[in-house]
Copies of this chain bind each other. A is one copy, B any other.
Amino acid sequence: MKAAIIGATGYGGADLIRLLHNHPEVELRSVHSSSQQGIKISESYPHLQGITDLVLQDIDPLLIKQQADVVFLSTPPGVSRDISGQLLEAGLKVIDLSGDLRLVDGKVYEQWYGIDAANASLLEKAVYGLPEWEKEKIQSAELISNPGCYPTATLLGLLPLVKNDLIDNKSIIIDAKSAVSGAGRSPSPVTHFSEMNDNFKIYKVNQHKHIPEIEQGLNVYGSEVPFVTFSTHLVPMTRGIMSTIYMNSANSQLTEKELRDLFEETYKNAPFVRVRKTGEYPSTKEVYGTNYCDIGVTYDDRTGRITVVSVIDNLMKGAAGQAIQNLNIMNGFEETSGLNYIPTYP
């Protein structure tokens, strides 16, 4: 199978290149960029010297179709909205890592993203690619909307509880922390090393675009969740997300064992979800560079609250890794194909 990447110079693109280069079933044939056409990708990313000689090309659906069967979009808001339809028409399978096609309701998109939404027919075609909860739809999809990094960590930690009506749905509070690579590759004051090093910041309190995506995900797979409270923080590190999730148990008789059994049962066939042992919580470095989502869970008798701790590598399970997982499922490859990485530790 032949693949192309649009938006190859960003961090999501770089990890896609890393993964596709060693994928046993796929060959990366072309890389595309809106701004740096004609230069080698290894000039933009010197760590790729000697590994690939691919040259950045225009973003042209027909040009891409000549070279590839499937195309990944790792692009800013508004690009996939405008171009995914043409890519599908050209006969390509499309995996979109941007947020353009994640929200089923265009009005909600417009409210949170502040730009026009994709047209309804395109939104309808898009399958939300959270493989642990949508495997069947992904298997037959032509167009995947790859979930956001925070929603991935958060939904994997919340859905077992929401689906089984184990919590007070109005009580969900998600305190999320992200590595700085989540802010992308464009330099800015916020991501300037001297400002961010040895610093811890909160940002977008109650205003992050991932809020409606999380709420939509909870309502699709569970019963009614009116809202969640969601805050995001920047950690002085390169890769990793932790979602610490708090909620009131709906059942005062709940035991910690039942809770853990539920998570293990839910994810027994999910190769990338690791439910951690009683009393053990994951740290972000334990999934570094891989597609794992590690989950710790506990119940506090004193307060009646459940705490779920979910960690991922934001560029992997939160972006490129999950995109490859979706590629595998939609093409009938082994789900873990090209993703058998062990965390780089320490």
Binding site for B on A (CB under 8 A): 11, 14, 17-18, 21-22, 45-51, 173, 175, 177, 179-181, 183, 185, 187-189, 191-203, 205-206, 227-229, 231, 233, 235-240, 242, 244, 246, 274, 276, 280-289, 292, 296, 298, 300, 302-303, 305, 307, 309, 311, 340-346
Contact = CB atoms under 8 A, between A and B. Distances in A.
Contacts of A205: 281, 296, 298, 307, 309
A289 B181 CA distance: 18
16 contacts: A47-B287, A49-B276, A173-B305, A185-B346, A194-B238, A198-B239, A198-B285, A199-B283, A200-B284, A201-B284, A203-B281, A205-B296, A206-B303, A227-B302, A239-B344, A289-B344
Nearest to A51: B342
A192 B195 contact: no
Given A193-B191, A300-B229, A283 B200 contact: yes
B191 A194 contact: yes
A47 B345 contact: yes
A183 B205 CA distance: 28
A41 to B, nearest CB: 12
A239 B144 CA distance: 36
Given A181-B194, A197-B197, A202-B283, 13 more contacts: A18-B343, A18-B345, A47-B286, A180-B194, A185-B194, A191-B192, A197-B238, A198-B237, A200-B242, A201-B283, A205-B281, A205-B298, A206-B298
